[in-house]
């Protein structure tokens, strides 16, 4: 999902684990934005084609949710996050936060290919074991990539999770859009440790550094 404001001519796409829910809620309440699409867009097998929460500009365009003719003149922006921190958050949610959804058959965990299998894997595995399983091959293929690379396509501006309010203020001022104040904190992951570094082995750190070297270079992130 994304949020669009026809009044202020912007679209914000919700990249995962970047305070995007809080940002979207804020834009809706303060800058006349609305959700697009209103619900998940599913294929004939019930698998999500366009996520009602996390859909990139390309997803919206290719599935007819929004026209490219609208995307081009509008301000399009997203938020990025340190990949070391973001991946730890993803593992933590699968291991602890989302387990309560196992009994909800309509939950998104059953509609995203491979998501449930990954949850079952992390149940009895460490964070570093999960990193090796999912990201070692990416580290070995020598391709430079972003963690949420597909969200960067068609994005005019990028905010950093770590300096979110300042970046948002600067972007809105640049495009002559009113800045209503700081984004309230909502939807924090309950119980998640603040320091992700203690969960990284030397091997896991090296894998992430190689797999997502482009994030580290372009957005000046480090361990």
Confidence of residue 192 (pLDDT cuts 50, 70, 90): confident
Phi, psi for 177 (deg, rounded to 5) = -105, 135
Cα-based angle 131, 137, 139 (whole degrees, multiple of 5): 80
pTM of the model: 0.86
Cα separations (Å) of 197 from 12, 16, 75, 207, 223? 30, 20, 35, 14, 7
**pLDDT at position 65:** 83
- pLDDT of res. 56: 84
Residue 49 has pLDDT above 70, yes or no: no
Output the pLDDT for position 146: 94
Residue with tokens 């309010």: 165
- Give the Cα separation of 110 and 121 in Å (integer): 15
Q: Is the pLDDT of residue 155 over 90?
A: yes
Cα 39 from chain centroid (whole Å): 18
Task: Name the band, by pLDDT with cuts 50, 70 and 90, for residue 185.
Answer: confident
Give the bridge partners for 5, in sequence order.
Answer: 10
9-33 tens-digit pLDDT: 999 999 999 999 999 999 999 999 9
Give the angle subtended at the CA of 169 by the CAs of 75 and 72, to the nearest 5°: 5
Tell me the mean pLDDT in the region 1-15: 94
- Return the higher-pLDDT residue of 173 and 56: 173
Query: What mean pLDDT, rounded, does the chain reach?
Result: 90
Residues 179 and 172: beta-carbon distance below 8 Å? yes
Q: What dihedral angle (degrees, nearest 10) is formed by the CA atoms of 149, 188, 84, 154?
A: 10
């Amino acid at each position: 999902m994304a949020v669009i404001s026809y009044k202020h001519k912007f679209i914000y796409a919700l990249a995962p684990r970047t305070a995007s829910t809080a940002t979207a809620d804020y834009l809706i309440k303060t800058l006349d934005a609305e959700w697009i699409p209103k619900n998940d867009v599913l294929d004939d097998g019930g698998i999500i084609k366009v996520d009602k929460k996390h859909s990139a500009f390309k997803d919206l365009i290719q599935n007819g949710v929004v026209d490219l003719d609208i995307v081009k003149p509008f301000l399009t922006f997203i938020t990025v996050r340190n990949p070391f921190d973001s991946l730890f958050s993803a593992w933590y949610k699968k291991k602890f936060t989302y387990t309560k959804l196992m009994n909800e058959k309509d939950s998104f965990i059953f509609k995203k290919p491979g998501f449930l299998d990954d949850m079952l894997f992390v149940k009895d595995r460490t964070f570093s074991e999960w990193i090796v399983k999912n990201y070692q091959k990416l580290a070995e293929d020598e391709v430079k990539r972003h963690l949420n690379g597909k969200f960067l396509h068609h994005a005019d501006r990028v905010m950093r999770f770590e300096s979110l309010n300042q970046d948002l203020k600067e972007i809105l001022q640049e495009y002559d859009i009113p800045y209503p104040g700081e984004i309230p904190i909502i939807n924090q992951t309950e119980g998640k440790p603040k320091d992700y570094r203690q969960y990284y082995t030397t091997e896991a750190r090296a894998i992430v550094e190689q797999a997502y070297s482009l994030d580290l270079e372009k957005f000046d992130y480090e361990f």
